[in-house]
Copies of this chain bind each other. A is one copy, B any other.
Amino acid sequence: MQDKGLRITKVRRALIQLFSEHSIPYTANQIEKKLFAIGILVNKTTIYRELQFLSQNGYITEVYLHSNEISYESAELKHHHHLVCESCGNVDDVINCLVSELNREIYQKKKFKIRTHTLEFYGTCAKCAHIKHIK
């Protein structure tokens, strides 16, 4: 990492550790709270810049789960998609991906070259379905 003349600061180290330990996507705000909880108080500008930095250098990738907030997750995760519970907001992963087969078909039909795609599922997780049942 220092190959490119990049420095290892406490924020950068903490973020890399966070993303390597958890496969969940985080927003800038969630990260700010996570860092604060372990005693690291950082300006939000720094967090945004650090997320941009890590994203541009291929350490993390952007995920669009909600309309107006960008989430980030480790770039080292296997290609996968998300189960987003509309009740509690919890996010889980699905590894299966049938979509890759579509690439050739879409290029033949539309001459559109797919670089990447997003596939997100919205619904109710097991926990919330259970809670609703109890009520």
Contacts and interface: CB of A to CB of B under 8 A. Distances in A.
Interface of A: 62, 64, 67-70, 83, 85-86, 92, 94, 96, 98-99, 101-102, 105-106, 110-126, 129
B122 A117 contact: yes
A102 B83 CA distance: 12
B124 A112 contact: yes
A110 B129 contact: no
Lowest 3 A-B CB distances belong to which pairs? A111-B126, A115-B123, A114-B123
A101 B123 CA distance: 16
Contacts of A119: 99, 117-119
A38 B45 CA distance: 41
